[in-house]
Amino acid sequence: MTASAGDGATGSATDAAEDATASADATDDATASADAADGPVASAEDVPDERSYSGIFGAFPYAFRHSDSRLFRAYAVVGGLAAALVAVLFVLAVVVAIANTTGGAGGTFTFSRAFFVFLMMLVIAPLVAPILAVARRHRRRATPGASAPSAGYDRALAATGFLFLLALYAGLGISVPPALQEESPGAVGAFLYSLPRAAGAVPPLAGAALIYLVHRYYR
């Protein structure tokens, strides 16, 4: 009887060990299935870096997302659309210049094209400068150990951007040829028409200078 009892105890221990081994195998199989369902784990290189952006076009959404100023976010949309509209208008102007200079000297077309590109850069650069400056500032402040960017800088540059848009409008009003001027322009339009056409470049240049000065002041 003693031997039988020992054999029974040994059998029970063996059965318990086998059950534990089967449970462990089942747990491993479940873990492997879960890992396979989840797919491969993304590495740090695969995750996009929210502290940076790529190129000029990437600066617009980056600045919009990281700025806490509603005024700047509004200008990021308005200024971006204005810059795109100006670019389209200048492209159309180049197309018209090509049509008008067909059959003319090659040097005339080259000068006209270069002049249009120069004017386009003079107009677009101040429009996008506040957005690019804010994006660059937030990217620098996003580095570990750097201080948090101030919303005052964003608001100030957005205000100068809107002022530059008004300056562009004033410059265009001043430079309108007499043949294209409206008969009843109103008080503001009459004042702009009364100024010499050469003064049409003054408001945009002053607006661009203001953007630079505000950037330097808050830097």
Distance of CA 7 to the CA centre of its chain: 79
Tokens 């005052």 sit at which residue? 152
Alpha-carbon Rg for the chain, nearest whole angstrom, is: 34
Q: CB under 8 Å to 69, separation ≥6 — which residues? A: 151, 154, 155, 158
Decide: 133 and 67 in contact? Cβ < 8 Å.
no
On the question of pLDDT at 213 being above 70, the answer is yes
* Tokens matching residue 8: 């029974």
pLDDT number for residue 7 = 46
pLDDT number for residue 159 = 97
On the question of pLDDT at 27 being above 60, the answer is no
pLDDT number for residue 56 = 83
pLDDT number for residue 146 = 54
Percentage of residues in the chain having pLDDT higher than 90 = 36
On the question of pLDDT at 6 being above 80, the answer is no
CA triplet 14, 17, 18: central angle to 5 degrees?
85
Average pLDDT, the chain: 76
**Confidence grade of residue 5 (pLDDT, cut at 50, 70, 90):** very low
Burial of residue 195, with CB atoms counted within 10 A of its CB: 0-12 exposed, 13-18 middle, 19 or more buried: middle
Q: CB under 8 Å to 151, separation ≥6 — which residues? A: 67, 68, 69, 72
Give the pLDDT confidence of 30-78 residue by residue, as tens digits: 454 444 444 444 443 444 445 567 778 888 999 999 899 999 999 999 9
Give the pLDDT confidence of 90-149 residue by residue, as tens digits: 888 878 777 776 655 555 556 667 777 788 888 999 999 999 999 998 888 766 555 566
Q: Work out the average pLDDT over 164-188.
A: 89
